[in-house]
């Protein structure tokens, strides 16, 4: 690995209310694109260099945002990425990491502290979209005047983020006992816990003692998944994209089969591009639907599983459907 060519800019060069960004990428072309896009957004580039070079000298404060490109699962890059993840979590910096499908699992395993934005094989436009989502978290930021092309790109960014937000608002809860709250896309409340009637008496005791029905036969769930995938042979897959439900179905079957699901496998099961699937996975994790499970024997791997509350909701949902579940698509 060649020597890192870090370039640091003094903090006093920053304009008022401008965000500082650190850029780390081993591929020179990607590193230059990141720098150009950050500067086009009016950000101050504090550091710019190679990922593996992070340990070759003392790293200054990251700034408010760190953009990272880590396309391989090499040990040196992963160690640097884990260090960046920890530093970002401690400092509150926003971390945006791009990688490849091949390196997704080890990269994901390294990022367990800072809740970063993860992009998989992104185009330059997708990197700009991610940067826009980060900028939206800083409402007091004053961007400098942009050119016509930049304004069009940011307009598309806004439209894309708006579509995602609208889709989250339209999601129908797939399980009994799931309700929508103002603070998350999903929130759970147990049907039993929600019962406000008398705690004594036959009816009250029956509700309190109600047990969760078993999860559905995984063969049934896999058949439903195949039926849903079959539509892509005849229609544009985007017409039926429902990553949240496809993720829940896949993890429900895996839970009954006692198998672990990697983040790469889950992205494939979602039926949408990996970057989109990762955003949904993050949202569902924050909402209490999914949980991250570390591999006890290999720190370079991490898995995704249903939470107990999500498993309970899926079990009750299929129990409510009964025999008609076999016709569910």
- Does residue 2 form part of some domain? no
Question: Does 1 map to a domain?
Answer: no
Q: What is the CA radius of gyration of the chain?
A: 23
Rounded mean pLDDT of 62-71?
91
Confidence bin at 322 (pLDDT 50/70/90): confident
* Residue 73 located in a structural domain: yes
Owning domain of residue 112: 7-168
Does residue 126 sit in the same domain as residue 200?
A: no
Q: Which residues pair with 254 in a beta bridge?
A: none
- 52-74: average pLDDT: 79
pLDDT at 59: 62
Tell me the C-alpha distance between 277 and 282, whole Å: 9
Beta bridge partners of residue 98, listed in sequence order: 69, 119
Given this model, what pLDDT does residue 11 score?
A: 46
| pLDDT value for 31 | 93
High-pLDDT (> 90) share of the chain, %: 35
Q: Do 222 and 327 reside in the same domain of the chain?
A: yes
Least confident of 98-107, 208-217, 238-247: 208-217
- Summarised one tens digit per residue, pLDDT across range 71-118 is 988 888 898 899 899 999 998 899 999 999 999 999 999 999 998 999
160: domain CATH number is: 3.40.50.2300
Is residue 224, in this structure, part of any structural domain at all? yes
Q: Does residue 158 register a pLDDT over 70?
A: no
Q: How far apart are CA 20 and CA 60, in angstroms?
A: 12
- Give the number of other Cβ atoms within 10 Å of residue 55's Cβ: 13
Question: Is residue 124 domain-shared with residue 84, that is, in the same domain?
Answer: yes
Same domain flag for 120 and 205: no
The total domain count for the chain is: 2
The more confidently predicted of residues 221 and 5 is: 221
Choosing from 138, 168, 198, the residue where a domain stops is 168
Q: Domain end: 168, 191, 206, which one?
A: 168
Same domain? For 178 and 326 the reply is yes
Residues 12 and 158 in one domain: yes
pLDDT score of 102: 94
* Distance separating alpha carbons of residues 269 and 243, to the nearest angstrom: 8
Answer yes or no: is 255 within a domain.
yes
Q: Where among 147, 168, 189 does a domain terminate?
A: 168
Residue 260 shares a structural domain with residue 163: no
pLDDT tens track for 301-313:
899 999 999 999 9
Q: 174-178, 200-204, 207-211, 256-260: which range is least confident on average?
A: 174-178
Question: Are residues 142 and 286 both part of a single domain?
Answer: no
Q: Specify whether 160 is located in the same domain as 206.
A: no
Q: What is the pLDDT of residue 213?
A: 86
252 and 182 within one domain = yes
| Angle between helix 263-270 and 274-286 (nearest 10) | 110
Domain annotation covers residue 102: yes
Can you give the CATH number for the domain in which 319 is found? 1.10.10.10
Q: Does the pLDDT of residue 198 top 60, yes or no? A: no
CA angle (242, 105, 307) in 5-degree steps = 55
Q: Classify residue 191: in a domain, yes or no.
A: yes
Same domain, 237 and 112: no
- Clarify whether residues 98 and 191 are in a common domain: no
């Amino acid at each position: 690995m060649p020597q890192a060519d870090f370039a640091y800019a003094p903090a006093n060069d920053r304009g008022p209310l401008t965000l500082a960004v650190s850029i780390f990428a081993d591929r020179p072309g990607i590193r230059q694109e990141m720098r150009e896009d950050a500067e086009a957004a009016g950000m101050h580039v504090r550091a710019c260099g190679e990922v593996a070079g992070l340990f070759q000298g003392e790293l200054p404060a990251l700034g408010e945002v760190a953009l990272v490109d880590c396309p391989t699962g090499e040990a040196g890059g992963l160690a640097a990425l884990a260090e960046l993840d920890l530093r970002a979590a401690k400092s509150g910096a926003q971390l945006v990491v791009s990688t490849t499908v091949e390196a997704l699992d080890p990269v994901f395993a390294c990022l367990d502290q800072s809740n970063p934005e993860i992009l998989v094989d992104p185009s330059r436009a997708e990197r700009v979209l991610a940067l826009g989502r980060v900028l939206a978290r800083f409402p007091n930021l004053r961007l400098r005047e942009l050119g016509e092309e930049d304004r069009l790109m940011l307009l598309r960014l806004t439209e894309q983020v708006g579509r995602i937000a609208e889709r989250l608002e339209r999601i129908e809860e797939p399980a009994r006992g799931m309700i929508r709250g103002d603070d998350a896309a999903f929130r759970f409340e147990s049907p039993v816990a929600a019962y406000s009637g008398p705690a004594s008496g036959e009816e009250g005791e029956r509700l309190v003692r109600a047990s969760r029905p078993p999860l559905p036969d995984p063969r049934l769930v896999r058949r439903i998944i195949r039926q849903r995938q079959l539509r892509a042979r005849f229609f544009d897959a985007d017409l039926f994209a429902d990553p949240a439900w496809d993720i829940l179905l896949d993890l429900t079957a895996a839970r009954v089969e006692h198998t672990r699901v990697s983040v790469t496998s889950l992205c494939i099961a979602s039926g949408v591009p990996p970057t989109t699937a990762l955003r949904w996975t993050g949202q569902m994790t924050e909402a209490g639907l999914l949980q991250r499970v570390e591999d006890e024997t290999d720190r370079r791997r991490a898995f995704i599983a249903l939470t107990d509350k999500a498993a309970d909701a899926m079990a009750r949902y299929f129990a409510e459907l009964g025999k008609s579940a076999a016709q569910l698509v």
